[in-house]
A and B are shown apart, each in its own frame.
Chain A
Amino acid sequence: DIQMTQSPSSLSASVGDRVTITCRASQSISSYLNWYQQKPGKAPKLLIYAASSLQSGVPSRFSGSGSGTDFTLTISSLQPEDFATYYCQQSYSTPVFTFGPGTKVDIK
């Protein structure tokens, strides 16, 4: 089974900060990596698919990069509405999917 890890597990940042979250797969998954944002009490929302493709309607301050085993989600200038938990997901072993443990971004 493919295992996913994320770092950090949580971070504190200020509005306007550049934020980077890392996701690592236990084996190469090419670019079969997605990112989701989840706010408390809400369903997850797709941000990035196929490692670097921005989902329609998602602000351009969000970007993704990486391939193989190491991936990054970057928020170029953190906005108040971006405080949330972020999850990566591998789809290399479709239709068996694995999520990372999540990274919580809160206000410094």
Chain B
Amino acid sequence: KAGVTQTPRYLIKTRGQQVTLSCSPISGHRSVSWYQQTPGQGLQFLFEYFSETQRNKGNFPGRFSGRQFSNSRSEMNVSTLELGDSALYLCASSLVAGISSGANVLTFGAGSRLTVL
């Protein structure tokens, strides 16, 4: 069973540019979440999508956006990049959203490491 696939794995951008990251969840998983991870802040929740609808959103500015497609694949976009956006962006999928159960744990991808110069 294929895991969560994130592309690209590494990318370098300059301030002011925009970036789009892609995530393909595990087959059958309909919920996709995005996290930003930095050494100083740890794992910070960006947003969660389920059935193409955003269910939850973290405390990030509007420059951070995302969407989910009908096949559950998801993309996140960051516009007008800032130096502080340099981080590892992690995508995670689970079977469904909002259900607390042992079967509904998160599986993470390897992440997309973004460097903003």
Do A and B assemble together? Answer: no
> Which residues of A come within 8 Å of B, CB atoms?
none
> Which residues of B come within 8 Å of A, CB atoms?
none
